[in-house]
């Protein structure tokens, strides 16, 4: 969030384009992929057509299938942000994702959840990480969070808030660093984002921002080492439904 206690919202109006599923038959993507060569290929054409029909939602401008409460990161629990604090999108097909933006909440974990659920706040990040290591996802990575005060960076980035205050180094706990690093490593793996300081940045580094988070006490060297270590570690098991429900109840 930064020095004024809240993440700056995007100044552009919400944009919601109408998206329709292609009609039965060969989709627009099939025509783009296949052209005349597919038509002439007989059996191959049928196979290509069937595969394309199964993947119709990959066409830019066509919305991917969604399920309420679906997670992008297995280590998180879901608590939805207000729809006023993000914009529906179809990333990475309409906007490529090439950044992770690190924020600090300037408040408690619970207060960050509450303000991201408040439609009057007009800002939120995709994730919040607590000092105890718990992770809540509030916006799908498909969608654009109003997090950075810069439309281009909002469209290209996944945002992670961290519980605490920028002037209190004790707030940046070992559990939080390690949990956040695992989350960032998974985001980088999903979108092919390099694990470096050009692509994993602080809110303060976003052009045009007046925020200072994650602040002078955020240990970037330590964090990047943890992200790289997490990127090469074996995957951890997904939480059980009971554990997820319990953690979600605590977050609320």
How many Cβ atoms are within 10 Å of 98's Cβ, its own excluded?
16
The structure tokens listed for 232 are 């090469």
Say what the pLDDT of residue 65 is: 82
Say what the pLDDT of residue 68 is: 85
Say what the pLDDT of residue 3 is: 47
Pick 166 or 50 by higher pLDDT. 166
Residue 18 binned pLDDT confidence (cut-offs 50, 70, 90): very low
Say what the pLDDT of residue 241 is: 40
Side-chain-side CA neighbours of 79 within 13 Å: the count stands at 27
Residue 41 binned pLDDT confidence (cut-offs 50, 70, 90): very low
Pick 230 or 32 by higher pLDDT. 230
**Cα separation of 246 and 252, whole Å?**
10
Please report, rounded to a whole number, the percentage of residues in the chain having pLDDT higher than 70: 68
Q: 37-46, 139-148, 225-234: which has the minimum mean pLDDT?
A: 37-46
Average pLDDT over residues 72-92: 97
pTM for the full predicted model = 0.72
Distances from the Cα of 186 to the Cαs of 59, 78, 107, 166, 234, in angstroms? 24, 17, 26, 25, 12
Q: Is 84:119 a contact under the CB 8 Å cutoff?
A: yes
**Cα separation of 9 and 5, whole Å?**
12
Strands (E), 69-215: 77-78, 86-87, 99-102, 127-129, 135-137, 144-145, 157-162, 200-202
Give the DSSP per-residue string, 110-122.
Answer: HHHHHHHT-TTT-
Residue 35 binned pLDDT confidence (cut-offs 50, 70, 90): very low
125: helix, coil or strand?
coil
Sign of the CA dihedral running 50, 54, 60, 63: positive
Say what the pLDDT of residue 66 is: 87
Residue 116 binned pLDDT confidence (cut-offs 50, 70, 90): very high
Q: Is 174:223 a contact under the CB 8 Å cutoff?
A: no
């Amino acid at each position: 969030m930064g020095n004024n206690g809240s993440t700056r919202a995007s100044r552009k109006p919400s944009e919601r384009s109408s998206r329709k599923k292609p009609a039965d038959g060969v989709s627009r993507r099939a025509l783009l992929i296949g052209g005349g060569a597919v038509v002439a290929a007989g059996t191959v054409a049928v196979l290509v057509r069937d595969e394309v029909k199964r993947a119709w939602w990959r066409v830019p401008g066509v919305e991917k299938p969604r399920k309420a409460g679906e997670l992008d990161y297995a280590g998180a629990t879901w608590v939805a942000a207000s729809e006023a604090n993000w914009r529906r999108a179809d990333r990475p097909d309409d906007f490529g994702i090439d950044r992770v933006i690190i924020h600090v909440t300037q408040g408690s974990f619970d207060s960050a959840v509450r303000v991201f659920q408040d439609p009057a706040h007009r800002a939120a990040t995709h994730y919040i990480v607590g000092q105890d290591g718990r992770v809540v996802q509030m916006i799908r990575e498909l969608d654009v969070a109003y997090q950075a005060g810069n439309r281009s960076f909002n469209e290209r980035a996944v945002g992670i808030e961290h519980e605490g205050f920028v002037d209190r180094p004790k707030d940046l706990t070992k559990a939080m660093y390690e949990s956040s690093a695992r989350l960032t490593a998974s985001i980088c793996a999903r979108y092919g984002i390099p694990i470096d300081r050009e692509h994993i940045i602080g809110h303060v580094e976003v052009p045009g921002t007046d925020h200072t988070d994650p602040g002078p006490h955020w240990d970037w060297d330590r964090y990047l080492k943890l992200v790289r270590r997490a990127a090469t570690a074996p995957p951890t098991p997904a939480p059980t439904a009971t554990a997820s429900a319990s953690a979600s109840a605590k977050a609320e």
